[in-house]
Amino acid sequence: MHRSHFRAGELIFAEGDPPTTAFVIETGTVQIATSRQGVECVLGNLGPSALLGEMAVIDDSPRSASAHALTDCVLTPIDRQQFGERVANSDPVVRTLLLSQLDRYRSALATLTGAPGESSLGKSEDAPAIAKIRLESELRGALDRNELEVWLQPVVEIESARIVGYEALIRWMHNERGPVPPAEFIALAEETSLIVPIGDFVLGRVCDMLAEFARCDEPLPFIALNVSARQLRDPDLIDQFVARLAARNLPTAALKVEITESLIMEQARVADLITRCHAVGIQVALDDFGTGWSNLGPLLALDFDQVKLDQQFVRALDTPRGDAIVAAIADLAHALGCDLIAEGVETAEHRAALNRLGCRFGQGWLFGRPLTLKDILVAR
């Protein structure tokens, strides 16, 4: 490994130098100092394992201080490209927070030395990250204030159009923006710990809704809810499901779990979830089948009860290739002992084609848009 050696008193880099590289201090002590009206001002000393000169490299600015070896030092150079690639590929929120701290440091240093300082805060490239931070804060507030809602979209038997259950869909009506697309705020929640309390909220609302349905003199429909990657790693998740249902005297079969296809790459966890669900009488569906992770291998080991056909295939039913692909998926689902549920059914032609191909269940605007529980009960 290439290392740089500096003797005691030797200059490592000078204030104003271009940021060619950063260093990791392997041995020795380095003094950081700046000049204030011609007088040297020592900012601090750094020892082994400390990073040196990284701030100038990260924000591509001239060195804001000088570094001297106080003792004989051995340093490992870090190329600016290493930092640049990592910062560029990092989460935009993390990147904005990092650059914000660098900006404040340089502003404080300029004040200390009497040099003019120019803030880089508020640049247009920071706007998406700042908006993301703001939205996360607002989402936390919405959760605390019970502003999130759970709506239900019917799942029907295609041949008879009889409603057999519902899929739970979360909605957020922002007080300024109006409705926030679920894909936007759910993705944000999954990046943070927020998905855990949101998932708990959805579970509670789903159980309350099932209890409302149970008070009607009709067969109890199921409600399906999605499980996120973070929830999948919770060993107590199924126990929570069972406890919530038992507290309302509801059968476990009234709740169904949906796993998106992207999560089946965590095969061991998904297999464990399915086993534990089946042990208590909860069925599990593979959601968004055919999107992104079209690897059939996990299906050999994962005992799903339903396969949900993504809407892009339903929309392609009017083409020979689309018809052939859906027919093949239907045959595959049947061979695996799974019911096939088609998503995005919007026309009578879709329904007729799916019925012909042996798809038993469907959901989509043809059968009903997502509604609140109140609207559903009024319609019944």
Convert 259-275 to b/e letters by CB count within 10 Å (16 or more is b). bbbebbebeebbeebbe
- Does some domain include residue 132? no
CA distances from 108 to 97, 212, 224, 315 (A): 17, 60, 54, 58
- Does some domain include residue 296? yes
Residue 253's pLDDT is: 96
Of 90, 115, 131, the residue that ends a domain is 90
Q: Which residues face 289 on adjacent strands?
A: 309
One domain, residues 189 and 262: yes
Report the distance separating Cα 142 and Cα 18, nearest Å.
47
- Does some domain include residue 55? yes
- Does some domain include residue 130? no
Cβ within 8 Å of residue 151, ≥6 positions away: 168, 169, 170, 171, 370, 371, 372
pTM of the model: 0.74
One domain, residues 166 and 265: yes
What residue numbers bound the domain in which 59 lies?
4-90
Of 212, 109, 167, the C-alpha closest to 311 is 167
- Does some domain include residue 359? yes
CATH code (residue 54): 2.60.120.10
- Does some domain include residue 187? yes
Alpha helix (H) ranges present in the chain?
Answer: 54-58, 80-89, 92-113, 127-144, 182-191, 195-214, 229-232, 237-247, 267-280, 311-315, 320-335, 348-356, 373-379
CA torsion, points 77, 82, 88, 91, in degrees to nearest 10? -90
Report the distance separating Cα 289 and Cα 140, nearest Å.
31
One domain, residues 214 and 86: no
- 371 and 148 Cβ atoms separated by less than 8 Å: no
One domain, residues 239 and 321: yes
- 363 and 345 Cβ atoms separated by less than 8 Å: yes
Of 90, 112, 133, the residue that ends a domain is 90
Residue 346's pLDDT is: 95
One domain, residues 165 and 300: yes
Identify the three-state secondary structure at position 154. Answer: strand
Report the distance separating Cα 228 and Cα 113, nearest Å.
51
β-pair type (73-79, 148-157): unpaired
For residue 168, how many other CB atoms are within 10 A of its CB?
Answer: 21
Report the distance separating Cα 345 and Cα 342, nearest Å.
7
- Does some domain include residue 116? no
Of 109, 111, 90, the C-alpha closest to 101 is 109
Residue 124's pLDDT is: 47
For residue 297, the 8-state DSSP code is G
Over the chain (380 residues), what is each successive 10-residue block's mean pLDDT? 87 92 92 83 90 82 90 89 68 69 67 55 56 80 89 96 95 86 86 88 96 88 93 92 96 95 82 95 90 66 91 93 93 92 95 95 95 90
One domain, residues 196 and 73: no
One domain, residues 75 and 152: no
One domain, residues 230 and 321: yes
CA distances from 174 to 49, 138, 171, 183, 373 (A): 47, 9, 10, 14, 20
Structure tokens at 238: 């199924």
Of 68, 90, 112, the residue that ends a domain is 90
CA distances from 320 to 309, 316, 317, 343, 352 (A): 17, 8, 7, 19, 15
Domain count, the chain: 2
Residue 113's pLDDT is: 57
One domain, residues 162 and 291: yes
Residue 292's pLDDT is: 59
* Burial of 192 per CB tally in 10 Å (0-12, 13-18, 19+): middle
For residue 314, how many other CB atoms are within 10 A of its CB?
Answer: 23
Structure tokens at 143: 């959760």
CATH code (residue 238): 3.20.20.450
Radius of gyration of the chain (CA): 29
CA 207 to chain centre: 25
CA distances from 186 to 74, 85, 135 (A): 48, 28, 11
One domain, residues 181 and 73: no
One domain, residues 51 and 180: no
Structure tokens at 266: 């965590």
Q: How many residues does the chain have?
A: 380
Report the distance separating Cα 133 and Cα 194, nearest Å.
13
- Does some domain include residue 143? no
One domain, residues 72 and 179: no
